[in-house]
């Protein structure tokens, strides 16, 4: 069938194209503040400045980590470049008691939780296994297995509901992050079903950055992703993922519904991955420069800066001070990464199981003997 015929046949069956960016927006790419009937939200001048500050610091930290990888100091890095607004907007909408289930790219959300950005870098440097106490930070561990965290989040959300922590204005809520590619995983669809039928207090936050490594969005879906929610029986909304104000407003609203017992919702933050999938990837192999340039014009930081300047909420001194602070934080991060001690090789056997295992003990013993065989050989 010719392309036009396919489009006509799909239209007849009521199937809409996946690529229509109709979304909630409160700040245009030119820095104009616009209203939305469903998401009225007021920010003080200080709150506007704080959001700008977070966006800049998060981008700077990310750039430092990319540089560290290029210099051989990290094994790999998954950059969030371009997705700062999606992460800062949603991260700042969270309350202290809300629980976060991230992927491997949520460095901006982690920062907004008040967590030291060094925390996940041991994983990317290969000096630890990327573990921490999720309860201490209300921030689960980075999850590399695509979509798996949506099921963990659903179980957790069902748990807090059973514990009676949901159903009032100061109830708790859960947010699960995932990408556009993850929506094709069974886990994510199972999480949608379970959350829906058990009315779990969860916000599914999909950062649609248009690619799953080299696979474009059109290989994942025939309908806009947020519309998937309808079929599972909960609301879905698409937000301009490069608009920190709109992301904040939409996420806060969805979290409030969840904490008050209204059940799950899906947010599709429509954004773009400006960098590579990870530092192991070369995006020039599968996408054209003009596409990247078009998204450059929708940059999440430029529009806030334009707005702050035009409204005289911030001046050149403020912007310079934020840049300087971001630089200082990044330099400090670099110094601490370089100082991370190399672990003893047999440490890999620690923390595999909470209480160990005889098989693991045997493997450790064999490995230690093998390592000892090099002693004195100059290797």
Ligand X SMILES: Cc1ncc(C[n+]2csc(CCOP(=O)(O)OP(=O)(O)O)c2C)c(N)n1
> Which CB atom, from 66 or from 271, has the smaller least distance to Mg ion?
271
Two tokens, residue 30: 């030119």
* Contact mark string toward Mg ion, 205..244, x via CB under 5 A: ----x--x--------------------------------
> Which CB atom, from 81 or from 213, has the smaller least distance to ligand X?
213
Question: In whole angstroms, how close is the CB of 24 to Mg ion at the nearest point?
Answer: 20
205 binds, among ligand X, Mg ion, none (CB under 5 to 8 A by kind): none
Residue with tokens 């474009």, as numbered in its chain:
216
Cα–Cα distance for residue pair 226/208, rounded to 1 Å: 10
Where does this chain touch Mg ion (CB under 5 A) — which range of 204-212, 243-251, 354-362, 370-378?
204-212
Cα–Cα distance for residue pair 12/28, rounded to 1 Å: 34
In this structure, what are the phi and psi dihedrals at residue 138, rounded to the nearest 5 degrees? Answer: 55, 40
Is residue 211 within the footprint of ligand X (CB under 6 A)?
Answer: yes
Which member of 144, 193, 360, 371 binds ligand X (CB under 6 A)? 144
Is residue 181 within the footprint of ligand X (CB under 6 A)?
Answer: yes
Active-site residue, from 286, 327, 353, 370: 286
Is residue 228 within the footprint of ligand X (CB under 6 A)?
Answer: no
Is residue 259 within the footprint of ligand X (CB under 6 A)?
Answer: no
Two tokens, residue 317: 């001194």
Strands 265-270, 236-240: pairing kind:
parallel
Cα–Cα distance for residue pair 322/87, rounded to 1 Å: 19
Where does this chain touch ligand X (CB under 6 A) — which range of 57-65, 207-215, 338-346, 365-373?
207-215
370 is catalytic: no
Q: Is the backbone of residue 210 left (phi > 0), alpha (psi -120 to 50) or beta?
A: left
Which member of 180, 187, 243, 253 binds Mg ion (CB under 5 A)? 180
Contact criterion met (CB below 8 Å) for 304 and 52:
yes
Is residue 277 within the footprint of ligand X (CB under 6 A)?
Answer: yes
Question: In whole angstroms, how close is the CB of 209 to Mg ion at the nearest point?
Answer: 4
In this structure, what are the phi and psi dihedrals at residue 215, rounded to the nearest 5 degrees? Answer: -90, 120
111 is catalytic: no
Q: Mention every residue, 6+ apart, whose C-beta is less than 8 A from residue 27.
A: 33, 34, 243, 244, 245, 246, 303, 304, 307
Of 14, 23, 3, 17, which is closest to residue 218 (Cα–Cα)? Answer: 17
Which member of 41, 213, 292, 306 binds ligand X (CB under 6 A)? 213
286 is catalytic: yes
Look up residue 350 and give its DSSP letter: T
Question: In whole angstroms, how close is the CB of 215 to ligand X at the nearest point?
Answer: 7
Which member of 82, 89, 122, 179 binds ligand X (CB under 6 A)? 179
Q: What is the DSSP string of 227-266?
A: GHHHHHTS-EEEEETT-HHHHHHHHHHHHHHHHTT---EE
> Which CB atom, from 57 or from 188, has the smaller least distance to Mg ion?
188
Where does this chain touch Mg ion (CB under 5 A) — which range of 47-55, 174-182, 304-312, 371-379?
174-182
277 binds, among ligand X, Mg ion, none (CB under 5 to 8 A by kind): ligand X
Question: What CA–CA distances, in Å, run from 247 to 26, 54, 84, 244, 251?
Answer: 9, 14, 11, 5, 6
Question: In whole angstroms, how close is the CB of 292 to ligand X at the nearest point?
Answer: 15
Binding positions for Mg ion, rule: CB under 5 A: 179-181, 209, 212
Binding positions for ligand X, rule: CB under 6 A: 105, 144-146, 178-182, 209, 211-213, 273, 277
Positions marked active-site: 273, 277, 286
């Amino acid at each position: 069938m010719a392309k036009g015929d396919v489009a006509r046949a799909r239209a007849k069956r009521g199937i809409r194209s996946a690529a229509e960016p109709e979304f909630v927006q409160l700040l245009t790419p030119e820095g104009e503040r616009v209203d939305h009937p469903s998401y009225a939200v007021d920010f003080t001048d200080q709150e506007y400045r704080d959001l700008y500050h977070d966006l800049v610091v998060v981008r700077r930290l990310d750039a430092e980590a990319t540089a560290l990888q290029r210099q051989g100091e990290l094994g790999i890095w998954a950059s969030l470049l371009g997705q700062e607004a999606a992460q800062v907007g949603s991260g700042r909408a969270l309350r202290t008691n809300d629980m976060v289930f991230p992927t491997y790219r949520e460095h901006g959300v982690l920062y907004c939780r008040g967590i030291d950005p060094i925390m996940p870098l041991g994983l990317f440097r290969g000096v630890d296994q990327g573990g921490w106490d999720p309860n201490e930070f209300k921030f689960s561990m980075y999850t590399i297995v695509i979509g798996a965290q949506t099921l963990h989040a659903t179980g957790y959300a069902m748990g807090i509901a059973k514990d009676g922590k949901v159903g009032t204005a100061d109830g708790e809520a859960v947010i699960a992050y995932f990408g556009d590619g993850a929506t094709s995983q069974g886990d994510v669809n199972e999480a949608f079903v379970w959350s829906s039928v058990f009315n779990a207090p969860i916000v599914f936050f999909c950062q649609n950055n248009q690619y799953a490594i080299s696979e474009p969005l059109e290989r994942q879906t025939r309908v806009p992703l947020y519309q998937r929610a309808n079929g599972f029986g909960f609301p879905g909304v698409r937000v301009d993922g490069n608009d920190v104000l709109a992301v904040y407003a939409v996420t806060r609203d969805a979290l409030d519904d969840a904490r008050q017992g209204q059940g799950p919702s899906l947010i599709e933050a429509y954004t773009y991955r400006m960098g590579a999938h990870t530092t192991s990837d070369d995006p020039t192999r599968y996408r054209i420069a003009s596409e990247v340039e078009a998204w450059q014009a929708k940059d999440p930081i430029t529009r806030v800066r334009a707005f702050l300047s035009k409204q005289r909420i911030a001046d050149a001194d403020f912007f310079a001070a934020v840049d300087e602070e971001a630089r200082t934080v990044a330099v400090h991060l670099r110094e601490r990464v370089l100082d991370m001690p190399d672990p003893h090789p047999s440490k890999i056997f620690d923390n595999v199981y909470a209480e160990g295992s005889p098989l693991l003990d045997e493997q450790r013993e064999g490995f230690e003997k093998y390592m000892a065989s090099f002693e004195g050989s100059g290797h």
